[in-house]
Amino acid sequence: MRLHGQAPVETAPLHMETVEPPEPGPDEILVRVAACGICRTDLHVVEGDLPLRRTPVVPGHQVVGRVDRTGSAARRFRVGDRVGVAWLRRTCGTCAYCRLGRENLCESPEFTGWTHDGGYADYTVVPEAFAYAVPNAFRDEDAAPLLCAGIIGYRALRLSAVAPGGRLGLWGFGSSAHVTLQVARARGIQVHVATREAARRAHARELGAAWAGDLSEPMPARMDGGIVFAPAGELVPLALAALDKGATLALAGIYMSPIPSLDYARLFEERVIRTVTANTRADGEELLAEAARIPIRPTVTPFPLEDANRALALLKRGEVPGTGVLLTGGASGL
């Protein structure tokens, strides 16, 4: 499903095309895609909230599949191994950030489904060093949401610095938040959710939220930390007002509408705002291992690959429970 020009998703800008499978470079692997999660970042790429980095481009960066072929210098995986492909596709390895172990801030990064073709396809290629071994605890379609929604939520949860026994506030409750809630609950954290859709509030309660209310309702207690998942800048002052002294608010999106001007009193008493930028490979490895131990059970809504436009339109309207996942027909379960 290729994007030649950005446009509202309701106009079906993704087109099904037949092309030759990509060739893996020496350090890359060719992956036969089984499942690819849809993500709000894909929507930002398709509709123009993020600038096009190449055209045409195949979106998709929550990929699960099997190694079909390896490059001449690739030794990490064998043909037939199940692997995952995430948003961060490659880093330079030499800039100051990479040398400090902060590769998510690399000066010359590559991204799956943005700078390079992604997983809305039968095949994709990825540097073997940036592929993940997928735990056997998950079906293909259940593992896909972990590769961005899971990883980014996991990093945001860490940056929010809420300890076991503490209270975590979540603003917005979609793909990433519903995975993050499960990780937080397994750590003994009490989770409070604010979201406008009644169905999503019900979903949060089903997954163990201590409280779920509308965005207009005050949370029942001060939060020890929070995460804003919705790409809505107007939620930032609202979330800050719900935080206790010294608490951190993590902003988990790659894109957000403008944040209104803030009264200093909202930040006073050492409250902190942190943004989340991509992820490190260590984030991904740690999340997959913890998710398998818990085990995390993502709520998945499957779509055939050719329905990518419709799936993204439903995501835009908030009508996809949990995570939408595109299936190529190659998904084979455990």
| pLDDT for 332 beyond 60 | no
Domains of the chain with CATH codes: 2-147+279-327 (3.90.180.10), 150-275 (3.40.50.720)
Per-residue model confidence (pLDDT) at position 330? 53
In angstroms and rounded to an integer, the radius of gyration of the C-alpha atoms of the chain is 19
Cα–Cα distance measured from residue 240 to residue 267, given in angstroms and rounded to the nearest whole number: 7
Partnered with residue 226 across adjacent β-strands are 169, 249
- Give pLDDT tens digits for 300-323: 999 999 999 999 999 999 899 889
Report the pLDDT value the prediction gives residue 265, as an integer from 0 to 100. Answer: 87
Per-residue confidence (pLDDT) for residue 333, from 0 to 100: 40
What secondary structure does DSSP assign to 58-112, as a single string?
-----EEEEEEEE-TT--SS-TT-EEEE-SEEE--S-SHHHHTT-GGG-SS-EEB
Of the candidates 91, 71, 64, the one whose C-alpha atom is nearest the C-alpha of residue 30 is: 71
| C-beta of residue 328 within 8 angstroms of C-beta of residue 122 | yes
Question: Mean of the pLDDT values across residues 222-249?
Answer: 97
pLDDT, tens digit (0-9, with 9 covering 90-100), for 129-139: 999 999 999 99
pLDDT of residue 266: 84
334, pLDDT greater than 50: no
Q: Is the pLDDT of residue 235 over 60?
A: yes
Note the pLDDT tens digit of each residue in 187-213.
999 999 999 999 999 999 999 999 999
SS3 7: coil
In DSSP notation, 117-170 reads: --SSSSEEEEEGGGEEEPPTTS-HHHHGGGGTHHHHHHHHHHHHTPPTT-EEEE
Rounded to an integer, the average pLDDT of 114-128 is 98
| Per-residue pLDDT tens over the stretch 276-301 | 999 999 999 999 999 999 999 999 99
The pLDDT tens digits for 39-63 are: 999 999 999 999 999 999 999 999 9
Asked if residues 132 and 61 have their Cβ atoms less than 8 Å apart, the reply is no
Average pLDDT in the 101-126 region? 98
Write the pLDDT tens digit of every residue in 147-163: 999 999 999 999 999 99
Cβ(317)–Cβ(143) under 8 Å? no
Report d(CA 304, CA 307) in Å as an integer: 6
Per-residue pLDDT tens for 8-40?
999 999 999 999 999 999 999 999 999 999 999
> pTM here?
0.93
Residue 103 sits at the vertex; the CA angle it makes with 100 and 107, to the nearest 5 degrees, is: 100
261 contacts 286 by C-beta, under 8 angstroms = no
